[in-house]
Structure formats: C-alpha cells, structure tokens
Structure 1
Amino acid sequence: MWKWTDPDNIKAIILDADSLDEAYLSFPYNQYIPEVQLFFVKDINNMNDKEIEIMGYYDTTTLLQDILIRSKCDSTSIISISNNPIFLKEMMQNHIGTILTCILAKDLLRNTPDFTDCTINSLPKILKGELYGYGAEVYATYGHGFPSMSLLKCKSQILLNDGTEREAIVFMGGRYYSEKHRYLLNDPLSYEVLNFKRNYTDSVDLFFDSVISFIRNYKAIDVLTYIPLKPKDINEKKYDRFRNLKLVNSSQNGIKLQQVLGFNKDFSQKGNDLYVRKEIVKGAFNVLSDIKGKNIIIIDDVYSTGSTIEEAIKTLYENGANKVFAVLLAVNQMTESNIEYHNLICRECGKEMKLKMNKNGKLFFGCSAYKQHKAISTTIDLEQGLNLLKDKNKLEVTNVRDLEDEY
C-alpha cells in the first residue's frame, strides 16, 4: 500500500532514467492518469549534452524541491518509479511514493518500496488503484482482503551440513516498523504485529489463511507448522499466538496447524548484528515428527535478518523435507527520514493521538483520554486518520541555498 501517497490524486511521476528500460520510459502514463506530469531524471554525472528532456540532479533533496515547484502539486500526489532500490530508498526518506520494477534483493528488504516486482502488465493496475498492495497491510487497514493484493517474495539458498544447497522461498505480507521507529504509533500493520504477540488478531488470522490457500493452489502441502515458543516463554506462560489461530479455510480444506519444531535452547536476537544472529540460532531447533519427503509451510511473525526462519528451514531440510515455504506477517523496516514527523493531535486536550483497537477489532485514532471527552467525539477512523497523517507529513517547499553560490 502507499505509505505517503494519495492514490486517487496522483499528478506527477518521477521516472528514473538511469535504471528504467525503454518500456517504462515510453509507457503511456496519461492513458491511465489523464494530464499526469512526467519528470525524467538522471544523475548529472551520467548525462550527455543531447538529453535535453532529462532533468539532471546532484542530490535527491534538491531534485524533489525542484519537482515540487515545477509540478505545483503536493508530495502526496507524486510517485517515483525505478529499477534501483537505492534511488527509491531516498525517495521514501522524503515521503514520496515508490514503485520498484524488479524483485527486491534479500539484503534490501529492510527498505521496502510501496510496490515491488512491478511489470509493465501490472503497472496499469497500480496507477488506476486496482492493485492494493501487500496483503498483510491490506488486511490490517481494511479488516479484509481484496483479489488484487501482492506479497513480498524472497528466494535464497540454504547450505546444508553435507554441503548441498536447498532453496528457501519466503513470502512476507508487508512492512513492520519496530518499537523504536517513529512510524510505529501510526502504522496499522505494525500495531497489529504487536497486538498479535499478546492477543488473537482476526486480520492476522485471515492473512495467514489466505496465503496458505494461495500456496496450496500451485503446490500440494502436507504439513502446516510454525515457529514455536522458546522454553523460557513456555515457562513464563507467554501467549502462544500461533496455537490460537483459527485458519478456518485451511482447516476445512484438510490441513491443520501442528507443531513440528521444538527449541533445543533459549536465545534472544534483540540488538544483535547479522553475524551474531546467525551464530546464536545455529542448532536451535529439533524436529518432533517424521517429515521425510513432505512439502511444508512454516509461518512466523516478523522477518528481521532472516536468521531464525532460515535456520528453521534448514532444520526441516536436514530432516528430510521435500520442499519448504515460509510465510511471515511482515519484514522489519529501517527507512527513516530527516523530515520532522507530526502525529495527529486531539482537538479537545491537545495530546497526541495513537492507534487503538475497539472491542470489535477495528482500528481508530484516539488520545489517551478519549473516553473522558464526553462533549464531542474526538476519535478519528483509521482511513481518515491515515489520510490526515499523509497531509501533515508531506514534503514542503523550502528555501534551499546552493552552496556553490558562496564560492
């Protein structure tokens, strides 16, 4: 889904001429968004004298300021298309909508654009608002899914103890902003990821159930399992989120969630770098039942570095699994911004408004004292609140002095 963009009001498209092929540069964008303005941009160091229709730029910040002035529209009406995830990372940092035309590499998942793996055939659906975005984000926002949703997909090779390699296919439902991230209080999926750790969450259940069905449409699955609680968590009687999933459709179609893996040891991945995470999790799992020759789906909540889920996949393969698919609710994000972030403010008491959930599982925005505000209703429904946040945090035109003028 669009993080910063109003999909019904797109007025300008930035096309990265450094990375896009001719099919995207010559695409008839006006056919799908009438009168949309196109800005073909290129790093000034890669330009030649003949490219008079290309906007050259030294840095993204100055480029966007120039485009805001030329287009005469808000940043919420501007999107960018590129085959370069680093270019789009800079766009995201400036609160610009992003479309990546290739599959996102594993080491770049923590800076995930609004849409990835966009082909020429899928581009019209995105431009017309017919492709809603990543499935878990859609479920968290609307409480239900749509036929036109997408998944983040990551492929990697797992090295087994005998030196052979097996393929790991991981599907992710969207982006998660951790507790230290400035977007956390205002991101529906992030809120539901945290809520899922403590309570049954209907939209999470529906997401997993839909992806399991999606995989089973093209691959026969024998076992559906999950990452279990660690021994310490069991001793502390922590909420076992996966055991409480209903997965109604999967159950009705002959496959039920079961525990296949157990933990050999306790460990924590918080605060560790990639190398330490991989070392800590080695040998952490054991297999509780016969899985030889079986196709398996394993589910978990958040993908950070992939160390835990990859060790789980490795353990399953080492014990004879034929094919393993992993489904994760979200992938942890690192993209931050230098733009000052503004939360919604309660008009009654002036306190910040945060995402909350009512007894029916519906998200809304409210301050800490919203129940005490009897005179007027001070809560804001989710969709309206997200639109207000986009407007409050749009990129503004600023007076940027060209430092070269000082010399």
Structure 2
Amino acid sequence: MFLKTNDLQCLLLYLDAFTDEEISYLYKQLNDMGKSMVFIQCEEVLEQKIPPQSLVLKETFQDKIFGPQKIIESAMDLTGFESYQMLVVSKSHQQLKPAINLPIGTVLYNKNPHILYEDIGHLPDLKVEEIEKIPQLFNLTTGYFSEIVTTYITQYKPLSNSGYVFRFFAQSEQTSVEMISAGRYFGPKHSLYESIQLSKRITKSKSETSQNNLFKSIYKPIIQFINEQNLVSGITRVPSRPEKADRLAPIVKMLSIELGFKDLSSNLICINNYPTHKNLGKEQRFINVRNQFKADLMEPLEHVVIIDDVFTTGATMLECAKTLYNAGVKKVTGVVLGVNQFADEFLDRYIVCENCGGRLHLRLNNKNRSAFYGCEHYHQHQCPTLSYGKGLNRMVTENSIKLANTLDKF
C-alpha cells in the first residue's frame, strides 16, 4: 500500500539492470497513459537505449552516499510534480533502501520470488515480479495483501480484496523456514504508524478478539495457496507464554474448520514464561526462546503451517519450527500478517487538529471496522474527527518534500 503517495503521475526509473526492451515497454505504456517518466542514470553504467527527448538525471557519488533526495528534488523541478505524485522503481533492493524513508512511493521489480532475510526490515511499498504490473500501479489501489484488506474507508468495504504477498527464508544455525508475509508492520515508534490500519489492528488484537475474523480472511487464502503447492497436514500458531492469553489459537481453530486441516494448537505449546523480547537484540532473542516449546504429535506429519501476527527477528517462529522438526514434521511453512519495519525514529510525520492544533491520531471504531483520525485533546476541546481518507490524504500531502528553499540546483 502506498502510504506516502497519491495521484501518481511520474515514474522515476533507475536504469541499471533494466534491458532496452523493458525500458522501451515502460516508456510506451506510461506515455500512452499520459504519465511522465524520468530516467536515473548511474555513473558506472553504460548508456542504454533511452527514447529520444527523455528526461534523464544522473546519479552522482554524493547521491549514493547521502541518498536520493537531491535526485527527487531535481525530478520535481524538472517535471513540476510533487514528491507524493512520484514512484521510484529499481531492480536493486539496496538501491531503494535510502528512498524508503523519503516521502515517495517505492517499488522493487525483481523476478526472484524471495526477498533476502537481511532486507525484510526495510521493505519498499511493493515488490512485483512482472514488468506488466508496473504501469498498472498508476490506475489501481493496490499493495501488500494484509495492508489493503485491513484498510476500511467505511465500515462496510476494504480498499480491495486482493493484493501481493512476499516470501523470504528465515534462518538460524539449526533451522530454515520459508515465510510468506502478507504485508508490513509499523510499530508505534515508526513514522507510518499513524497512517496504516493494519498496524493499529494488530495492536488492538493483543487485548481483544475483534479483529479475529478479519485476520482469518487474510490467513485463509494464503494457506489455501500453500496447500495447492504442497499439501498441508495441519495448522498451528506461535504459542503465547502460559501467563498470556493464546491469542492466535481461536483463529487457528476457525481456519482448521473451514479448510479441513488438523488443528495442532494443543500439540505445540510454550512450557515456560520466558522473559519478554522487549529491548532484546536479535541474538538475545534467539537465546531467550531456546528450548521453551514442546511438540507432541500422535504421528509424523508431512507439512505444517505456523501462523503469527508479526515477524521481527523470527526467533520464536524458528524455535517453534525446530521443535516441530524434532517431533517428526518434515516441512514447516510460516505465515505472518506483517514483517516489522525498522523504526525511522528521526522522522516526525503527523497532521494537526484544525480546531486546537493538537496532533491527530489514527483510531479504530470500536463498533465496526471503520477508522478515523481523532485529536489528542478531544476530551478537553471536543474536537471534530476526520475521516480516514481525508486524514491520510493530509498525511501524504503535508509531509511531502518541500521544494522551495531546498533545491540546490546543479
């Protein structure tokens, strides 16, 4: 889901690794749609066959060191478009990483179905594997599956019932698990936390069950797809510590009934109240959950799916998978609603109440699935609320790159 763009009008394309045929295809498609295109040429890359009279910007050594903001500002000056009307596309994840925290849309075009484990904390707005999907982004409301399905403009209808997922292999010294994630999770310290309903709904689900049916509707088609590729024997979840409510077990029960797979929640349990992961580093988390789970299976199973809500380091997921492997399971696949994104704590992204000047925060309606923006000083001033659509539009436009007094022309 594009949380920092709307009214897309311009594509910024890093030329390196794109073939002449791909460049020609994208140029023609966007030209036919009345959209603009700016090519970004890297210093060390040979000249490609760029269409005549194309808009071209050259990436400098300084751009590589300090990030692409200068290039984006130059593209804004060149085209007259705002940063929230632009989409930057590259075949290189490393190339996109510096742009991910900027107020511009980011898309990774890569035919490899898997994202590297070390890159999952810095994900672009979308990863597509087919070049034909790129022009479509200018006409469709799309994004990662869980982000789209959990975004309600009204209480009755989500933005869409379809979207993209991405895959990666979570690995430790002893275990490897193929993961399928339906989206990204932005924690409270991330600047996008007040923009995306998925993160708010995951937070809400930690204390109540109101989101269970919605989350089930995300897990279900993914598990059906997994089953088509490799028959599933049963479903379980990453179990909570004994002192905590087993939040995901009711969802596993619903999925098992509707899909006809064994419910293995009682077969995989957490046996100790190990310390919370909060404030622990990656290696400490793996140590923290070591030998904390137990699996009892009546018979060896071929393929088990484990669900969880948020994937951060994968410590608990991998420990659960290792426990199942040791109990005789031959294959384990993990499914999560979102992968935790590293917080951009130096960025401050917000909108203010027009009534009192206080900050507006994204809220979920307790009576239905709709969302809205409410003022932090509501109880003091009875400030009016703002619809999610209007609030997100303000969040996008008011936090874009401001060209005036920033562009140092070359």
Match of 1:155 in 2: 169
Which amino acid in 2 is paired with 1:150? Answer: Y
Match of 1:262 in 2: 269
Mean CA deviation greater in 359-368 or 121-130: 121-130
Which amino acid in 2 is paired with 1:221? Answer: V
Q: In 1, Cα distance between the equivalents of 2:48 and 2:165?
A: 41
Alpha carbon RMSD of aligned pairs, Å?
Answer: 2.9
How far the C-alpha of 1:282 sits from its partner, in A, is 2.4
Match of 1:163 in 2: none
Deviations 1:250-286 (A, max 9, x none): 5233236441222243133222222222233222221
2:332 counterpart SS class? strand
Match of 1:348 in 2: 355
Match of 2:292 in 1: 284
Deviations 1:87-118 (A, max 9, x none): 21222222110110124211000011111143
1:2 counterpart SS class? coil
CA 1:198/1:257 → structure 2, altered by over 3 Å: closer, same or farther? farther
Q: How does 1:103-182 map to 2 (within 5 A)?
A: 103-129=114-140, 132-142=142-152, 144=158, 146=160, 148-156=162-170, 160=174, 168-182=177-191
1:141 counterpart SS class? coil
Q: In 2, Cα distance between the equivalents of 1:330 and 1:394?
A: 25
Q: 2:364 aligns with which of 350, 353, 357?
A: 357
Q: 2:216 aligns with which of 196, 200, 205?
A: 205
Q: Assess if the C-alpha contact under 8 Å between 1:5 and 1:390 holds in 2.
A: yes
CA 1:184/1:82 → structure 2, altered by over 3 Å: closer, same or farther? same
CA 1:275/1:372 → structure 2, altered by over 3 Å: closer, same or farther? closer
Q: Report the number of matched residues.
A: 388
Which amino acid in 2 is paired with 1:245? Answer: I
Q: In 2, Cα distance between the equivalents of 1:168 and 1:49?
A: 40
Q: In 1, Cα distance between the equivalents of 2:21 and 2:40?
A: 16
Q: In 1, Cα distance between the equivalents of 2:127 and 2:149?
A: 18
Q: In 2, Cα distance between the equivalents of 1:98 and 1:321?
A: 39
Match of 1:386 in 2: 392
Which amino acid in 1 is paired with 2:169? Answer: K
Which amino acid in 2 is paired with 1:16? Answer: Y
Deviations 1:53-84 (A, max 9, x none): 64212211211111010010111110011011
Q: In 2, Cα distance between the equivalents of 1:167 and 1:26?
A: 40
Mean CA deviation greater in 196-205 or 47-56: 47-56
Q: Assess if the C-alpha contact under 8 Å between 1:30 and 1:36 holds in 2.
A: no
Q: How does 1:292-303 map to 2 (within 5 A)?
A: 292-303=300-311
Unaligned runs of 5+ in 1: 161-165
CA 1:257/1:194 → structure 2, altered by over 3 Å: closer, same or farther? farther
Which amino acid in 1 is paired with 2:257? Answer: S
TM-score by length of 2: 0.85
Q: In 2, Cα distance between the equivalents of 1:43 and 1:338?
A: 28
Match of 1:185 in 2: 194
Q: Assess if the C-alpha contact under 8 Å between 2:233 and 2:301 holds in 1.
A: no
Which amino acid in 1 is paired with 2:57? Answer: M
Q: Assess if the C-alpha contact under 8 Å between 1:158 and 1:314 holds in 2.
A: no
Q: In 2, Cα distance between the equivalents of 1:67 and 1:337?
A: 27
Q: In 2, Cα distance between the equivalents of 1:401 and 1:229?
A: 51
CA 1:386/1:171 → structure 2, altered by over 3 Å: closer, same or farther? same
CA 1:88/1:247 → structure 2, altered by over 3 Å: closer, same or farther? farther
How far the C-alpha of 1:245 sits from its partner, in A, is 2.7
Mean CA deviation greater in 149-158 or 317-326: 149-158
Q: How does 1:3-402 map to 2 (within 5 A)?
A: 3-6=3-6, 9-31=7-29, 34-46=33-45, 54-58=56-60, 59=63, 60-102=68-110, 103-129=114-140, 132-142=142-152, 144=158, 146=160, 148-156=162-170, 160=174, 168-200=177-209, 201=211, 202-231=213-242, 234=243, 238-245=244-251, 248=254, 250-255=256-261, 257-259=263-265, 260-265=267-272, 266-290=274-298, 292-334=300-342, 336=344, 340-341=348-349, 343-358=350-365, 359-370=367-378, 378-400=384-406
2:250 counterpart SS class? coil
Q: Assess if the C-alpha contact under 8 Å between 2:12 and 2:39 holds in 1.
A: yes
CA 1:264/1:337 → structure 2, altered by over 3 Å: closer, same or farther? closer
Sequence identity (%): 24
How far the C-alpha of 1:313 sits from its partner, in A, is 1.3
Deviations 1:119-155 (A, max 9, x none): 224334334316x211111122136474541112112
Q: In 1, Cα distance between the equivalents of 2:220 and 2:361?
A: 28
1:312 counterpart SS class? helix
How far the C-alpha of 1:28 sits from its partner, in A, is 3.4
Q: Assess if the C-alpha contact under 8 Å between 2:29 and 2:135 holds in 1.
A: no
Q: In 1, Cα distance between the equivalents of 2:269 and 2:252?
A: 21
How far the C-alpha of 1:157 sits from its partner, in A, is 5.4
Q: In 2, Cα distance between the equivalents of 1:23 and 1:230?
A: 54
